[in-house]
A and B are shown apart, each in its own frame.
Chain A
Amino acid sequence: MKIISKLWIFIGVLIVLSPLGLLLPDHFKAGSAWGEWGAEEMKELVGYIPKGLEKLSSLWSAPIPDYAFKGWEEKPLSSLSIAYIFSAAIGVFVCAGAVFILGKLLSKKE
C-alpha cells in the first residue's frame, strides 16, 4: 500500500479515537485550557468579566461550537463523543479540501 493511503488510514484512526480528548479530561476532572475560559467561567475566576472581553467574546457564533452541536451542551458524554467524532471528520474533510484547492492554485503543473 502506498504511504499516502497508510497515512490517511492513520488520520481515520485518529478521528475515531478523538473522543479520548473529551473523555480523559473529564475523567481526570480537568477544566478548560488555560486562557480559554468562557465569560461565565471568567467571572468565577477573577470576580468580574473584563468589559472588552465581554464584548468581543460573543463576536463570532461558530456553527459547531466547541466540536459539539448547538443545544447539545447538556447531553451526556456519549452523545458528545459522537458529535466530537463527527466534528473531527468534518474538520479533516474541510482541511483536506481547502488544501487541495490551495494546492491547485499554487502548485507547479507537472
Chain B
Amino acid sequence: MHIPDGYLGPGTCGLFYLIMLPIWTAASRIVKKTLNSRQVPLLAIGAAFSFVIMMFNVPIPGGTTGHAVGGVLVAILLGPWLACIAITVALVIQALLFGDGGITAIGANCFNMAFILPFCGYYIYKAISYKSPVDSRRRVIAAGVAGYIALNIAAGVTGVMFGIQPLLYKTASGAALYCPYGLNVALPVMLGEHLLIFGWVEAIVTALVVKYLQKHSPELLLEGRKS
C-alpha cells in the first residue's frame, strides 16, 4: 500500500500533503493535551511495531505481495490520534531510509495508513465492543473485524488514488504520465487482494494481540478509551 514516487501526479501529492497538514497539527495538539510521559514508551512500541509488521510481506502465490499495517492495534491501545503520529513516524522512516513509499507520496500514504486506517479501525472497534467488559470475547472479535474492515477501506482509498491518475494526467497522445492503471483495474485489484488475503492478516494480528493483552495487561485496553 506504499505508493512510490512517480505513481501520483504533483497535484495529487500536493493535495494530500495539504490534507494531512491540519491532521498532523490537530494530532500534535491533542497529543500535547492528553499524552503523559508514561505513555511515551508505549507510543514508541506502537511506531516500532507498525514499522516492523509492515516488513512481513505476505505472498499471493504467483501474484503480488502485501502486508498488515498494525495501525488498528495501535489505535485500540493509544487512541486514533496517537496512532496517527506513531504510524506517520514509521511511514516517514520507511520512505526516507528504505525507499519504501515515495517522498512525494508521504502525504498520500499517511492519509491512507496513518489517518483512514487507525480512525476507521478505532471507531469500528469501539462500536462493536461497545460496553462489553475488557476481558470479553466480543472485544477480540471487535478487534479482528476492525482490523479487517479498516485495512480494506485504506486499500480501497489507495486504489482510488492510483486509479484517478490516468484521468488526471496524460500526454497529448493519451499515454499515462503517472500510474497507468485506471479505476477499473486499480480499485478492484487493491480491494480484491486485501479482502482476500491481507485484510485477514491485519485482523488476525490485531485480534491475537488484544487477546494476549486481555490476559496479561488488561489495563492497556482500558487506556485506549481516552485521548
Q: Which residues of A contact B (CB under 8 A)?
A: 3-4, 6-8, 11, 14-15, 17-18, 20-22, 24-25, 27-36, 39, 42, 46, 48, 50-57, 59-67, 84, 87-88, 90-92, 94-96, 98-100, 102-104, 106-110
Evaluate contact between B96 and A62: CB separation under 8 angstroms.
yes
**Cα–Cα, bound, A89→B156 (Å):** 31
- A-contact 0/1 string along B93-118, CB 8 Å cutoff: 11111111011100000000000000
Asked if residues A52 and B97 are in contact (CB atoms below 8 Å), the reply is no
- Chain A residues with CB under 8 Å of B57's CB are 21-22, 24-25, 30, 33
Assess whether A65 is in contact with B52, with CB atoms less than 8 Å apart.
no
Known contacts A50-B177, A57-B4: A63-B97 contact under CB 8 Å: yes
**Cα distance A33–B3 in the bound complex, in angstroms:** 10
Q: Report Cα–Cα, A99/B99, bound state, in Å.
A: 20
Please tell me which stretch of B27-35, B121-129, B137-145 contacts chain A, meaning at least 4 of its Cβ atoms lie within 8 angstroms of it: B27-35
Would you call B226 an interface residue if the criterion is a C-beta within 8 Å of the partner chain's C-beta atoms? no
Listed A/B pairs (14) with beta-carbon separation below 8 Å: A7-B42, A14-B53, A14-B56, A30-B62, A30-B65, A60-B96, A62-B96, A62-B97, A62-B99, A84-B55, A91-B94, A94-B97, A95-B48, A107-B40
| Structural contact, A59 and B104, CB atoms closer than 8 A | yes
- Taken together as a complex, chains A and B put the C-alpha atoms of A73 and B101 apart, in Å, by 19
Is B32 touching A106 in the complex (CB atoms < 8 A)?
Answer: yes
Q: Is the CB of A18 within 8 A of B52?
A: yes
Q: Is the pair B93, A95 in contact by a Cβ cutoff of 8 Å?
A: yes
Contact yes or no, B175 A48, CB < 8 A: yes
Shortest Cβ distance from residue B218 to the other chain A in the assembled complex, whole angstroms: 10
Which B133-170 residues sit within 8 Å CB-CB of chain A? 158, 162, 169
Grouping DSSP codes into helix (H, G, I), strand (E, B) and loop, the A interface class, with mixed when no group exceeds half, is helix
Most chain-B Cβ atoms within 10 A of its Cβ — which of A31, A51, A103, A110?
A: A103
A107 to B11: give the CA distance in the assembly, Å.
35
Docked-complex contact A91 and B97, CB < 8 angstroms: yes
Which residues of the partner chain B approach A107 to less than 8 Å between Cβ atoms?
Answer: 31-32, 35-37, 39-40
Contacts of B48 in A (CB 8 A): 11, 91-92, 95-96
For residue B71, CB closer than 8 A to chain A, the reply is no
Residues on B with beta carbons closer than 8 Å to the beta carbon of A64: 97-99
CB neighbours (8 Å) of A17 from chain B are 56
- Chain B residues, CB < 8 A from A31: 63-65
Q: Tell me the complex Cα distance, A36–B5, Å.
A: 9
Structural contact, A28 and B100, CB atoms closer than 8 A? no
A18-B52, A36-B2, A65-B98 given; A103·B44 CB < 8 A: yes
Closest to B56 in A: A21
Bound together, the chains give a CA A51 to CA B170 distance in angstroms of 9
- Given the known interface contacts A57-B6, A62-B99, the answer about A8 and B35 at a Cβ–Cβ threshold of 8 Å is no
With A53-B179, A62-B96 known as contacts, the answer to whether A102 contacts B55 (CB < 8 A) is no
Nearest Cβ on chain B to A12's Cβ, whole angstroms: 10
